[in-house]
């Protein structure tokens, strides 16, 4: 089993920045892609960004391109999401995902999930 623990969420004004972290522990040797999703209660979990095992390949959702940057430190089994130029519509609970797939662009591709961290962007 793999455990994912997110941190770094909080309240920020529009135009500000936050950096989310997700640390993996347990049987991490067979993990490939890691990624981030977001979800509003009552709605589907939505893809944000994913990064390959080596970190050289990344995919972003259109609405975050140019504003968010995903990265990972395999020595620390940690993935990061740098969020800049935040907008009120970025407000949501953000979830870390990990799995054996080469990329995680849909919830069904993830094998493991974190508990979620709240991001709130005020106008």
pLDDT digits (tens, 9 = 90+) for 28-81: 888 999 999 999 989 999 999 999 999 999 999 999 999 999 999 999 999 999
Residue 74 DSSP one-character state: T
* Per-residue confidence (pLDDT) for residue 29, from 0 to 100: 85
Contact 36, 97 (CB under 8 A): yes
Residue 95 scores a pLDDT above 90: yes
When the pLDDT of each residue in the chain is averaged and rounded to a whole number, the result is 96
Distance CA 89, CA 16 (A): 13
Structure tokens at 116: 């979620």
Residue 91 scores a pLDDT above 90: yes
> What is the pLDDT averaged over residues 115-123?
97
Contact 39, 93 (CB under 8 A): yes
Residue 63 DSSP one-character state: G
Residue 4 scores a pLDDT above 90: yes
The Cβ-side half-sphere exposure at 72, using a 13 Å CA radius, reads 27
């Amino acid at each position: 089993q793999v455990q994912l623990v997110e941190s770094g969420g909080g309240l920020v004004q529009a135009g500000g920045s936050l950096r989310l972290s997700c640390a993996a522990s347990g049987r991490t040797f067979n993990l490939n892609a890691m990624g981030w999703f977001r979800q509003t209660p009552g709605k589907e979990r939505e893809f944000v960004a994913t990064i390959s095992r080596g970190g050289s390949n990344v995919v972003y959702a259109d609405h975050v391109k140019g504003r968010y940057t995903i990265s990972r430190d395999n020595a620390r089994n940690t993935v990061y999401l740098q969020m800049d130029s935040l907008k009120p519509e970025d407000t949501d609970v953000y979830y870390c995902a990990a799995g054996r797939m080469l990329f995680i662009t849909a919830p069904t591709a993830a094998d493991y999930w974190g508990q979620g961290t709240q991001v709130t962007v005020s106008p």
